[in-house]
Chains A and B, each alone.
Chain A
Amino acid sequence: MADIIVIGAGLNGLVAANYLAKAGKHVLVLERRALAGGQAVTESFGAGFQADVLHAGGQLRPDIVADLDLARHGLPESTSEPLISLHPDGRQLRLTADSDSETLASIGAFSKRDAERWPDFVAFMNAAAGFLDAAYRTPMPRLPHVKLAEGLPLARLAMKLRGLGARDMFRVIRALPMSALELTEEWFESDGVRAAIGAVAVHGATLGPMSAGAGFSLMHNWLNRGGPGHRRVENGIGGLANALVAALKARGGQLRVSAPVEAVLTDDQCARGVRLASGEDILAPIVISGADPRHTLLDLVGAPDLPPEFVWATQSIKMRGSVAKVHLLTDGAHALPSGTLVVAPTVRYVERAYDAAKYGRTSLEPYLEITANGPVVSIHFQFAPYALRGAEWSQERAVLERIAIDTASNALPQLKSSIREIKSLTPLDLEKTYGLTEGDLNHGQLLLDQMLFMRPMPGWSTHKTPIDNLYLCGAGVHGGGGISGAAGRNAAAAVLRGK
């Protein structure tokens, strides 16, 4: 019998399972799909049509790679890509965290002054991301009655913030609640530069560059990407999950795929195992769920067994995903430059794209991120709201595909004629196929009121739940959001502390 059941073989579930297996626990990971990886999967949609389905890139936090010795288990190489913002007049703005001469020249074509400020901006963003990384590593206790053992790491975090020096400390604090526009206005004069950074800020989030709080999501995305562009994983992002699976098996852990969990079994407010859709019960003294908090609590546990105020808080988690993906199999003659290509020419363009989502409509002029891998071109589409008003995703899919292809082809003229096959994923598909409630990649929007000691809900940032021995480890809990494994690492530590 397993000591611990982990629900979901997403990156966070696998990271948590590895840490626990490393600590000597018998861990069983249950995955509903036939392949492990969750959002970090490379899948095939037909002959020659293989794509990184949800994320064009990503990286596990370096401490996780080291702790779990993943290099030994086949962790693939990853490389940082430049972000290339495509403009209607054919100009291309290249942004990298290296501030290499090509980048500076490219920015300089938009604004000399902005090119001069770029290295300082990168340094500031790296410092801010570094602080966020430290915050994501710090356990977030229940407030306000913090025990000494919990208070010390918090004090260390505060000292780290002060350690940035007064100027950067205030810059970080101020930037968190700012809009991306306000933040970038303080650095750059070129609208093109502001827009490209604004696009990074709202990537994966249902926010516009003028929304307050996008300063925070910018830091978050910068941290996870390690800069403005993606980190592309050699031979597909699925390699990250494969390495984690290999490491888990080497540590004696088990993985069962095609084993969808239907319910968390409880007895007197204490978890005692899970029931699979097949009706099979698997018992274990500890259950950790990598599924999103709302699904875990309201579907797998069930509201009737939970306190009403807690149920209300769970219902109130803001998910509202608005990302869609359109994958294209081309004949190879798409003529895409390499890099993370972005259609976000002006701040207003991206903001207007977001406006549509506010009112439940698909953006007619969307913000796109386009990446190519051989003949396959993947388009990340924002905004396509999960909850459409006056339309259904079954019909809207065609609209989405048309807008995505037309918008991308405007910027990349040779793309359209090269297309052979299309595979699109609406937010509804993200929910149905990938188990992402409301299609939210982050299991809960990256908003300041849903972060740190308020993630997933105020008072429950400890990875615990009102059900004893049921823990949460997915992207929706502290550390989470994005491809990083931090939430899984934190949850494993909480489980080990709790015992």
Chain B
Amino acid sequence: MPANHYDAIIIGAGHNGLIAGAYLARAGKKVVILERREMVGGAAVTEEIFPGYRFTEFSYVVSLLRPEIIRDLELPRHGLKILPLPSTVTPMDNGDYLAAWPDHEPTRREIYRHSPRDAEAADEYGRVMARAAKAIKPVLSLVPPDPSSMSWRDMVGLMKIGQYAKSLSEKELYRIAKLVTQSSADLLNEWFEFDPLKGTKSASGIIGTFLGPHSPGTAYVLLHHYMGEIDGAFRAWGFAKNGTGGVTAAIAASARALGAEIRTGASVKQVIVKGGRAAGVALENGDEFHAKVVMSAADPKRSFLSFVESKHFPDEFVEQIKNFRVRGSSGKLNLALSELPQFTCLPGETPLHRGAISISPSIDYIERAYDEAKYGQFSKNPYIDMIIPSMIDRDMAPPGHHVMSCFVQYAPYDIAGGWDDTKRDAFGETVISTIERYAPNIRNIIVGKQVITPKDIERIAGITGGNIFHGELLLHQLFFLRPAAKWADFRTPLPGYYFGASGAHPGGGVMGAAGKMAALEVLKDWR
């Protein structure tokens, strides 16, 4: 094969692109993965922004990475270690806290301290959600059929879904139907009474969406996060050794070992179309790559509105992609710290510092944070999910020093007047002063900070709108509607052009399912 000629080109070396490339290489295809930046990883990168302090810049936890991908690509051999992230603690305004551990007994005792009723409800709720997650899991690995089609393949797909639905018990089926349509606030209010508990649980229902916990549909996002899985154990979240960049580094190493080529600093300008088929890509610098198959692991907007001229797609498809919601709603604050933050409710160093620290005192707190965002402002009192990676992986910061990753919601991409440096600083300041209420020493121990707005996510990681899921997990953007009706099977209206990223079924998180499933669909079509 001549130089720059490949079996397959993958656009984007985020985790999905790398996984797709690795699977295709594993099947013996000659693959090149083209990455715009000088480093691989996409939104799953670890960067040493300040010397000695390593930031998990964007995504910061791992829960959803499919275990079969870890096994298939032999990621542990390439350095992947997922360290446990054992707990969640919610500081309360009265100086107390609410903690949760993976072991249900101490968690029960902990909740019991605050509400005996909720302690038992939490156990039962955990079981019900685990069963629902188990029940819905098979759907995630299905290639969504097109319900409007009469084709053999789609009819078989629809039948499979019918059989799947019949395999569920009545309770499971209704539970799922409710979870998909309900608001997380309503769901949690049915079960619990203690505000910090409800607030913390509702938070996972809004991550990556531009909705508040009172909005219908958020219960599904909550369930989506429940599907986190490490070594087959439901509900266990983890922190990857060396940050999420450690995950993509391992996948990249695996892909290379399988024969895939990865080129960084290779920004794709356009997909080359010949004879009505995708035939390669042209880079911004003019270089061309040719291949039988092109797959985009970029977000849907760039994949379909930027890389390919609209004339190659039906209007209806273009209209749907234009209407696809990619409203970024979250930002990040990454901190380099000279010592451990002292939380009023947790003096010293405790086991809880190894887990997540959540600023989510109540559902109303988060809903109010959303209210501001929907009118175009960042939240004055935001929801913050903090972890201290250096407490889990001692290699993340110099000895005795720490790094802290703060995921912040809401920060609207479309902020009134647009994002600028002043607003970014003000946003960072708001987050710090919010943390300060619970950890008064925070300001004095900061030796470096990085504030990331949705605009920065777009600029650095190349995700249009800065939405961490490449498109919100809204009911009308899931399954056979993700990213567009009739084109949820990883194929696109342009023959030879495939789509395998978070904007495809089954959606975001460092999950890798879309990349893997798309690669398998490419192989199915291979002639």
A-to-B contact residues, CB < 8 Å:
142-145, 162, 165-167, 169-170, 173-179, 182, 186, 210-213, 312, 316, 318, 348, 351, 355, 358-359, 447-449, 453-454, 458-459
Please measure, in the bound complex, the distance between the C-alpha atom of A355 and the C-alpha atom of B178, giving whole angstroms.
Answer: 24
A449/B367 contact (C-beta < 8 A), A174-B485, A210-B374 known: no
9 residue pairs from A and B, CB less than 8 Å apart: A145-B170, A173-B485, A177-B216, A212-B215, A212-B475, A316-B190, A358-B367, A458-B177, A459-B170
A212/B367 contact (C-beta < 8 A), A144-B165, A186-B323 known: no
Which of A175, A211, A355, A454 contacts B371 (CB under 8 A)?
A355
Please measure, in the bound complex, the distance between the C-alpha atom of A359 and the C-alpha atom of B363, giving whole angstroms.
Answer: 11
Q: Is the CB of A144 within 8 A of B216?
A: no
Please measure, in the bound complex, the distance between the C-alpha atom of A175 and the C-alpha atom of B217, giving whole angstroms.
Answer: 13
Q: Is the CB of A449 within 8 A of B190?
A: no
Q: Is the CB of B181 within 8 A of A144?
A: no
- In the complex, what residues of B have CB within 8 A of residue A213's CB? 181, 215-217
Which of B170, B216, B367, B485 contacts A170 (CB under 8 A)?
B485
A166/B486 contact (C-beta < 8 A), A145-B170, A355-B371, A447-B181 known: yes
A359/B364 contact (C-beta < 8 A), A142-B170, A213-B216 known: yes
Please measure, in the bound complex, the distance between the C-alpha atom of A176 and the C-alpha atom of B149, giving whole angstroms.
Answer: 21
- In the complex, what residues of A have CB within 8 A of residue B218's CB? 212
Min CB distance A354 to B, Å, is 10
Q: Is the CB of B485 within 8 A of A212?
A: no
Please measure, in the bound complex, the distance between the C-alpha atom of A235 and the C-alpha atom of B475, giving whole angstroms.
Answer: 44
- In the complex, what residues of A have CB within 8 A of residue B147's CB? 162, 169
8 smallest beta-carbon distances between A and B, as pairs: A458-B174, A177-B475, A166-B148, A170-B485, A449-B181, A448-B181, A213-B216, A174-B476
- Is the C-beta of B38 less than 8 angstroms from some C-beta in chain A? no
- In the complex, what residues of A have CB within 8 A of residue B374's CB? 210, 351
- In the complex, what residues of B have CB within 8 A of residue A359's CB? 364
B-to-A contact residues, CB < 8 Å:
147-149, 165-166, 168, 170, 173-175, 177-178, 181-183, 186, 190, 211, 214-218, 316, 323, 325, 364, 367, 371, 374-375, 474-476, 481, 485-486
Given A175-B476, A459-B170; 20 other pairs, CB 8 A cutoff: A144-B165, A144-B173, A166-B148, A166-B149, A166-B486, A169-B147, A177-B181, A179-B215, A186-B323, A211-B215, A212-B218, A212-B475, A213-B181, A312-B190, A355-B371, A449-B178, A449-B186, A449-B216, A454-B177, A458-B177
- In the complex, what residues of A have CB within 8 A of residue B217's CB? 177, 212-213
A143/B181 contact (C-beta < 8 A), A212-B215, A348-B375, A358-B367 known: no
Please measure, in the bound complex, the distance between the C-alpha atom of A150 and the C-alpha atom of B175, giving whole angstroms.
Answer: 21
- In the complex, what residues of A have CB within 8 A of residue B364's CB? 359
- In the complex, what residues of B have CB within 8 A of residue A447's CB? 181-182, 216
A358/B216 contact (C-beta < 8 A), A145-B166, A174-B481 known: no
Please measure, in the bound complex, the distance between the C-alpha atom of A145 and the C-alpha atom of B147, giving whole angstroms.
Answer: 21
- In the complex, what residues of A have CB within 8 A of residue B178's CB? 449, 454, 458
Q: Is the CB of A170 within 8 A of B148?
A: yes
Min CB distance A383 to B, Å, is 13
Query: Taking CB as reference atom, which chain A residue is nearest B164?
Result: A144
- In the complex, what residues of B have CB within 8 A of residue A145's CB? 166, 170
The count of A-to-B residue pairs whose CB atoms sit within 8 angstroms is 96
Min CB distance B478 to A, Å, is 9
Q: Is the CB of A144 within 8 A of B168?
A: yes
Q: Is the CB of A182 within 8 A of B325?
A: yes
Which of A173, A448, A459 contacts B174 (CB under 8 A)?
A459
Q: Is the CB of B481 within 8 A of A449?
A: no
Q: Which of A169, A211, A212 has the most CB of B within 10 A?
A: A212
Q: Is the CB of A169 within 8 A of B148?
A: yes
Q: Is the CB of A448 within 8 A of B170?
A: no
- In the complex, what residues of B have CB within 8 A of residue A348's CB? 375
Query: Taking CB as reference atom, which chain B residue is nearest A164?
Result: B148
A454/B174 contact (C-beta < 8 A), A174-B476, A449-B182 known: yes
- In the complex, what residues of A have CB within 8 A of residue B316's CB? 167
Min CB distance B372 to A, Å, is 11
Q: Is the CB of B148 within 8 A of A177?
A: no
Q: Is the CB of B166 within 8 A of A212?
A: no
Min CB distance A291 to B, Å, is 22
Min CB distance A246 to B, Å, is 40
Which of A167, A174, A358 contacts B214 (CB under 8 A)?
A358
Min CB distance B380 to A, Å, is 15
Query: Taking CB as reference atom, which chain A residue is nearest B219?
Result: A449
Please measure, in the bound complex, the distance between the C-alpha atom of A144 and the C-alpha atom of B168, giving whole angstroms.
Answer: 8
Please measure, in the bound complex, the distance between the C-alpha atom of A248 and the C-alpha atom of B397, giving whole angstroms.
Answer: 81
Q: Is the CB of A173 within 8 A of B476?
A: yes
Q: Is the CB of B323 within 8 A of A449?
A: no
Min CB distance A267 to B, Å, is 27
A212/B474 contact (C-beta < 8 A), A170-B485, A174-B481, A182-B325 known: yes
Please measure, in the bound complex, the distance between the C-alpha atom of A174 and the C-alpha atom of B211, giving whole angstroms.
Answer: 17
Query: Taking CB as reference atom, which chain B residue is nearest A355?
Result: B371
Query: Taking CB as reference atom, which chain B residue is nearest A359?
Result: B364
Q: Is the CB of A143 within 8 A of B170?
A: yes
- In the complex, what residues of B have CB within 8 A of residue A449's CB? 177-178, 181-182, 186, 216
Please measure, in the bound complex, the distance between the C-alpha atom of A167 and the C-alpha atom of B173, giving whole angstroms.
Answer: 28
Which of B170, B175, B211, B481 contacts A212 (CB under 8 A)?
B211
Q: Which of A173, A447, A449, A453 has the most CB of B within 10 A?
A: A449
A177/B476 contact (C-beta < 8 A), A186-B323, A211-B216, A316-B190 known: yes
Please measure, in the bound complex, the distance between the C-alpha atom of A177 and the C-alpha atom of B371, giving whole angstroms.
Answer: 20
Query: Taking CB as reference atom, which chain B residue is nearest A215?
Result: B476
- In the complex, what residues of B have CB within 8 A of residue A448's CB? 181, 216, 475
Query: Taking CB as reference atom, which chain A residue is nearest B218?
Result: A212
Min CB distance A101 to B, Å, is 28
- In the complex, what residues of B have CB within 8 A of residue A142's CB? 170
Q: Is the CB of A144 within 8 A of B170?
A: yes
Q: Is the CB of B148 within 8 A of A162?
A: yes
Q: Is the CB of B165 within 8 A of A212?
A: no
Please measure, in the bound complex, the distance between the C-alpha atom of A427 and the C-alpha atom of B371, giving whole angstroms.
Answer: 25
Which of A166, A355, A454 contacts B485 (CB under 8 A)?
A166
- In the complex, what residues of B have CB within 8 A of residue A165's CB? 148
- In the complex, what residues of B have CB within 8 A of residue A318's CB? 186
Min CB distance B288 to A, Å, is 36
Please measure, in the bound complex, the distance between the C-alpha atom of A496 and the C-alpha atom of B483, giving whole angstroms.
Answer: 45
Please measure, in the bound complex, the distance between the C-alpha atom of A178 and the C-alpha atom of B323, giving whole angstroms.
Answer: 12
Please measure, in the bound complex, the distance between the C-alpha atom of A165 and the C-alpha atom of B147, giving whole angstroms.
Answer: 11
- In the complex, what residues of B have CB within 8 A of residue A182's CB? 325
- In the complex, what residues of B have CB within 8 A of residue A453's CB? 177
Query: Taking CB as reference atom, which chain A residue is nearest B177?
Result: A454
Query: Taking CB as reference atom, which chain A residue is nearest B186?
Result: A318
Please measure, in the bound complex, the distance between the C-alpha atom of A351 and the C-alpha atom of B173, giving whole angstroms.
Answer: 33
Please measure, in the bound complex, the distance between the C-alpha atom of A351 and the C-alpha atom of B214, giving whole angstroms.
Answer: 13
Query: Taking CB as reference atom, which chain A residue is nearest B220?
Result: A177
Query: Taking CB as reference atom, which chain A residue is nearest B175?
Result: A458
Please measure, in the bound complex, the distance between the C-alpha atom of A161 and the C-alpha atom of B474, giving whole angstroms.
Answer: 21
Min CB distance B486 to A, Å, is 7
Please measure, in the bound complex, the distance between the C-alpha atom of A178 and the C-alpha atom of B217, giving whole angstroms.
Answer: 9
Min CB distance B47 to A, Å, is 35
Query: Taking CB as reference atom, which chain A residue is nearest B485?
Result: A170
Q: Is the CB of B215 within 8 A of A173?
A: no
Please measure, in the bound complex, the distance between the C-alpha atom of A170 and the C-alpha atom of B149, giving whole angstroms.
Answer: 12
Please measure, in the bound complex, the distance between the C-alpha atom of A178 and the C-alpha atom of B165, giving whole angstroms.
Answer: 24
- In the complex, what residues of B have CB within 8 A of residue A186's CB? 323
- In the complex, what residues of B have CB within 8 A of residue A175's CB? 476
Please measure, in the bound complex, the distance between the C-alpha atom of A186 and the C-alpha atom of B321, giving whole angstroms.
Answer: 12
Min CB distance B172 to A, Å, is 9
Q: Is the CB of A173 within 8 A of B474?
A: no
Min CB distance A170 to B, Å, is 4
Min CB distance A353 to B, Å, is 13
Please measure, in the bound complex, the distance between the C-alpha atom of A165 and the C-alpha atom of B486, giving whole angstroms.
Answer: 13
Min CB distance B145 to A, Å, is 13
Q: Which of B165, B177, B181 has the most CB of A within 10 A?
A: B181
Min CB distance A159 to B, Å, is 12
- In the complex, what residues of A have CB within 8 A of residue B476's CB? 173-178
Query: Taking CB as reference atom, which chain B residue is nearest A348?
Result: B375
- In the complex, what residues of A have CB within 8 A of residue B214's CB? 211, 358
